[in-house]
Amino acid sequence: MLVKLIRNVLGYTIAGVDLVTRPRKLKRSPEAQQAVDQATQKLALYQFFGCPFCIKTRRAIHRLNLNIEYRDASGDPKLRQELESQGGKIQVPCLRIEQDNGDVTWMYESGAIIEHLEQHYATA
């Protein structure tokens, strides 16, 4: 119980610092931003608010100016179950990528997620 309290306090402290020190968003033309927004409609980030790796991933999403849905798997049992049953494990951050043909890929690890997003959207 004490460990959970300490983890939550530290997580929310890191999240607060993140809000104050966020990087600038990538600037795009309105047309380019609209194309990126449309391309990211089928992406969802399963995350825990106070998780340092989730914060790192959210900072990259903010910096890249991406409109990705955040799904808080710590506060919603349905989302947590969905993450486990469809993604294969309860681990965050996890990026759910739905392809145009309906196939779904579940990408774990903040570094891999950030690398994927930078490859696909940093120059878009």
Share of the chain above pLDDT 90, in %: 69
CA triple 69-47-8, angle to 5 deg: 135
Q: Is the dihedral of CA 84, 56, 41, 102 positive or negative?
A: negative
Q: What is the pTM of this model?
A: 0.86
Summarised one tens digit per residue, pLDDT across range 2-16 is 887 887 788 788 788
In angstroms, what CA-CA distances link 10 with 20, 51, 57? 16, 9, 17
Omega of the bond leading into 93 within 30 degrees of 0 (cis): yes
Summarised one tens digit per residue, pLDDT across range 63-89 is 999 999 999 998 899 999 999 999 999
Are residues 73 and 80 in contact, defined by beta-carbon separation less than 8 angstroms?
Answer: yes
What confidence tier does 118 reach under pLDDT thresholds 50, 70, 90?
A: very high
pLDDT value at 103 more than 80: yes
Domains in the chain (CATH in brackets) are: 2-121 (3.40.30.10)
